[in-house]
Structure 1
Amino acid sequence: MRTRGSILIANIIAGLALGFTVTNIGFGDYTELNRMFTFQDLRMLLSFAGAVAIIVVVFALLRVRRTPGRIHAGVIPGAILFGTGWAISGGCPAIPIIQVASGYLPALITIVGVVVGIRLCRWANGRYFHLDRGSCGL
């Protein structure tokens, strides 16, 4: 049986491994991300496509099945906001943390933006949308 401590240690190790890998392949570099979004360099885009292909194979081998259903009401606007923020800032929510750890301090602005965005989402959700609690991330 797993304990909280062993799960925490496993998560820390996995996070450090991910951060190390992401940094060493250039995914934390704003210039590289910009080149991907402007289609100047397809290396990162192909890396993402390769990761998706691998998980599709893994899911097939593990026989993971998901019954298609309705798309959650927040998926489309959330995807648009996420993609726009990623393109502008050069990082999804994890990348700015890696950028700060690598010494790229302007990423702190992105982290503040993520926190403010989550808070605004929760406020707007509570006031206007009333979607499930997990729809605003973190």
Structure 2
Amino acid sequence: MRSRGGVLLANLLTGLALGFTVTRIGFGDYAELNRMPTFQDSRMLLAVFGAIVIIASVFALLRVRRGAGRLHAGVVPGAVLFGIGWAISGGCPAIPLIQVASGYLPALVTIAGIVVGVRLCHWASGRFFRTDRGSCGG
């Protein structure tokens, strides 16, 4: 069993490496982020697809099975809202943290939106989709 401190340190170091890399290649920039979901530039889109291919290959190699094979009723509307939010705010959940660390303080509004969105997801999942709160992340 791993120590809690070791896991936290590994997460911290991995997060710092990710934040540094994302900032260094320009993916923490609002304009760059906004060009992907609006299909103005394919650079980030290709990076996302590349990451999906890599993780899918690793999951297949390790025989990792996720999900029950059926889409949750909130996946499609959630994906649409996520895409719209990304296009407007220029950030998926991790990027605003990188933006704030880089001194881009308007990203605090995006972080507040993420918190409100997760809270709304918890509420809607229980009320409309009859699922547990764990399906919302966060």
Deviates more, 1:127-136 or 1:26-35: 127-136
Q: What is aligned with 1:6?
A: 6
Residue by residue, what CA displacement relative to the aligned partner does 1:6-29 show, whole Å, maximum 9, x if unpaired?
111111111111111111111111
* Runs of 5+ consecutive residues of structure 1 not aligned to the other structure: none
**Structure 1 pair 49–137 and aligned structure 2 pair: CA distance change class (3 A):** same
| Deviation of 1:125 (Å) | 3.0
Provide the rounded CA distance (Å) in 2 between the counterparts of 1:137 and 1:62: 24
Identity over aligned pairs, percent: 75
Residue type at the aligned position of 1:30: Y
For 1:64-103, list aligned pairs within 5 A: 64-65=64-65, 69-103=69-103
The alpha-carbon deviation at position 124 of structure 1 amounts to 2.9
Q: 1:122 to 1:68 in 2, by over 3 A?
A: closer
Whole-Å separation in 1 of the counterparts to 2:124 and 2:60: 38
User: How far did 1:66 drift?
Assistant: 5.2
The alpha carbon displacement at 1:57 in A equals: 2.4
- The ranges of structure 1 where at least 4 consecutive aligned residues each deviate by more than 4 angstroms after the TM superposition are 65-68
Unaligned runs of 5+ in 2: none
Q: How far has the Cα of 1:116 moved from its partner?
A: 1.2
Deviates more, 1:6-15 or 1:61-70: 61-70
Count of paired positions = 138
Relative to the length of structure 1, the TM-score reads: 0.89
Q: From the superposition, tell whether residues 94 and 128 of structure 1 become closer, same or farther in structure 2 (CA, over 3 Å).
A: same
Q: Deviations over 1:59-78 (max 9, x none)?
A: 23323345862111221121
